[in-house]
């Protein structure tokens, strides 16, 4: 507990001091508070993106999935490997055009590229909707650590959740004062702790358990036992019946990873186009860490975590493994890694959601003449409200509901990919067709997910079902994405044949290859036909 609190206190101080780190010339601009002044170099960006994408919930959920089902939980490893080559193709273009035109959010780019307020607000609201449960799950990660620590066991609800209130209050305070600079600075500590803990865990714990041979034997024995449905509960290798689900979930998740607003926020905070490219080349180092992290699920099985406990919560497997196997002082280090691993992404996510609301809802529809100082003030307030919403979500709703909505978040955010990625390479798609495709993908995916039940919930009980026309079980989000793309293509052909009016494109070809400093050149709006 002492070690955990010392680390927590240290990062709290760092969070407040971050407002003086790389101090802005004019802090009353949204890109200063919400993007760190677009000034982060290669290493700061690398740690920021790592802290952003590999969250406390990753630390908890990936090994928990391996603990519960075996090999299928490893889908997160190939999806991160697939993601970086894909985004290497388009993120530098997004950075360049955003730098030239001062775009702060992906919805800003959609608004400028297609001249469509409706499509822009659809992308913005989808981003906020997908981000909210993600923030909530960071708080779930902190709760898992506090549960194993035995903290918050008071007789009433306030005392029980008091540690979570304190963590929330600290997070809200330093995010409000320091903006994106706070999680960028804290990410150095978070990522260093995560790497140390995982490397020690995958070496030290197997030595105590008798080696990896025994670890895999124990896992095989557990998964061969029939579950509640009479079938084996998992496997060490994904069987033929699960391969389509595994592959489509990995590929769909790879497409969705950098559609999340917090991922884009980390990219747009980079100081140069080459910084983005370098990071997409070196980010796979985190995928190696993720593979080792997933192994902790097997180690928890071999250590007997939750053995014989009916309905054991697999989300507690890793914290309990650390508590059982490590010396108490190093357990504090490991728990600090998880706790800080929740604070960093939660801060970035709340900032990203606040940027979306401020730029694409407040300024677009409520106060078009808002000054930069007003934008910054509204964004700070919005970031607080987003975190309050996430806290209420965690306290009042079942944790399984939060997990289900996070799975839905991946499905929803994937539906923005057609408009965003296609717009970086072509102006061919019609704005109304893209909006219709987005709507069809959202409705279809949500409706299919609603119909899935599980032992824990009657609706939204999973993210895979039969793929229409193929008959194999696959990821709903990817099916909805394909349907979204088909609708966008077909309707674009129809609307072009009918000569439906197109919105004005304010970008130029050169904008997508611009380097730092090119934003000083005033760009005149270009007619759509020129592109």
Q: What is the pLDDT of residues 324-340, one digit of tens each?
A: 999 999 999 999 988 88
What's the confidence (pLDDT) of residue 150?
Answer: 77
Q: Global pTM?
A: 0.90
What's the confidence (pLDDT) of residue 517?
Answer: 66
Q: 23 pLDDT band (50/70/90 cuts)?
A: low
Does the pLDDT of residue 352 top 90, yes or no? Answer: yes
What's the confidence (pLDDT) of residue 154?
Answer: 53
CB atoms within 10 A of CB 30: 26
What's the confidence (pLDDT) of residue 526?
Answer: 41
Q: How high is the mean pLDDT of the chain?
A: 88
Q: What are phi and psi of 435, to 5 degrees?
A: -65, -40
Q: 139 pLDDT band (50/70/90 cuts)?
A: confident
Residue 519, Cβ density class (10 Å: 0-12 exposed, 13-18 middle, ≥19 buried):
middle
Tell how far CA 48 is from the center of its chain.
Answer: 13
As a whole number of angstroms, the distance between CA 47 and CA 363 comes to: 31
What's the confidence (pLDDT) of residue 522?
Answer: 37
Q: What is the pLDDT of residues 86-104, one digit of tens each?
A: 999 999 999 999 999 999 9
DSSP state of 360: I
Q: What is the pLDDT of residues 209-238, one digit of tens each?
A: 999 999 999 999 999 887 666 677 788 998
Q: What are phi and psi of 426, to 5 degrees?
A: -150, 155
Does the pLDDT of residue 198 top 90, yes or no? Answer: yes
The pLDDT > 90 percentage for the chain reads: 54
């Amino acid at each position: 507990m002492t070690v955990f609190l010392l680390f927590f206190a240290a990062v709290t101080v760092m969070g407040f001091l971050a407002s003086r780190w790389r101090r802005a010339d004019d802090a009353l601009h949204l890109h200063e508070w919400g993007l760190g002044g677009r000034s982060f170099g290669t290493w700061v960006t690398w740690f920021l993106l790592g802290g952003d994408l590999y969250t406390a919930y990753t630390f908890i959920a990936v090994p928990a999935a391996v603990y519960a089902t075996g090999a299928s939980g490893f889908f997160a490893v190939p999806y991160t490997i697939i993601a970086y080559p894909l985004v290497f193709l388009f993120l530098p273009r997004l950075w360049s055009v955003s730098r030239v035109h001062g775009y702060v959010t992906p919805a800003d780019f959609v608004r400028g590229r297609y001249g469509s307020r409706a499509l822009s607000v659809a992308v913005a609201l989808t981003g906020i909707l997908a981000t909210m449960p993600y923030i909530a799950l960071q708080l779930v990660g902190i709760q898992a650590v506090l549960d194993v620590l035995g903290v918050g066991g008071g007789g009433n609800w306030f005392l029980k959740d008091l540690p979570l209130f304190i963590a929330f209050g600290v997070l809200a305070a330093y995010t409000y004062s320091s903006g994106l600079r706070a999680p960028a600075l804290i990410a150095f500590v978070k990522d260093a702790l995560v790497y140390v803990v995982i490397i020690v865990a995958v070496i030290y714990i197997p030595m105590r358990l008798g080696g990896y041979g025994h670890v895999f034997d124990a896992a095989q024995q557990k998964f061969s036992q029939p579950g509640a449905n009479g079938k084996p509960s998992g496997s060490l290798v994904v069987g033929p019946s699960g391969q389509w689900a595994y592959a489509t979930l990995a590929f769909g998740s790879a497409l969705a990873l950098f559609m999340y607003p917090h991922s884009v926020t980390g990219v747009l905070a980079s100081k140069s186009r080459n910084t983005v490219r370098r990071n997409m080349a070196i980010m796979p180092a985190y995928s190696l860490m993720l593979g080792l992290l997933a192994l902790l699920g097997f180690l928890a099985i071999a250590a007997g975590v939750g053995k014989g406990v009916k309905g054991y919560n697999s989300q507690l497997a890793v914290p309990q493994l650390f508590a059982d196997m490590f010396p108490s002082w190093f357990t504090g280090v490991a728990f600090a890694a998880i706790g800080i691993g929740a604070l960093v992404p939660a801060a970035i996510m709340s900032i990203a959601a606040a940027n979306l609301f401020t730029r694409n809802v407040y300024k677009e529809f409520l106060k078009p003449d808002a000054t930069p100082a007003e934008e910054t003030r509204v964004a700070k307030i919005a970031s607080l409200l987003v975190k309050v919403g996430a806290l209420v979500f965690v306290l009042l709703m079942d944790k399984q509901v939060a997990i289900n909505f996070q799975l839905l978040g991946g499905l929803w955010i994937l539906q923005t990919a057609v408009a965003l990625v296609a717009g970086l390479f072509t102006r061919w798609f019609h704005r109304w067709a893209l909006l219709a495709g987005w709507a069809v993908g959202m409705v279809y995916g949500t409706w299919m997910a609603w119909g899935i039940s599980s032992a824990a919930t009657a609706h939204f009980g999973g993210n895979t079902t039969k793929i229409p026309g193929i008959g194999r079980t696959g990821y709903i989000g990817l099916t909805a994405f394909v349907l979204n793309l088909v609708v966008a293509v077909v309707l674009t052909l129809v609307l072009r044949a009918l000569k439906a009016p197109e919105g004005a494109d304010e970008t130029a070809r050169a904008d997508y290859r611009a380097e730092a400093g090119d934003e000083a050149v005033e760009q005149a709006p270009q007619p759509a036909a020129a592109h």
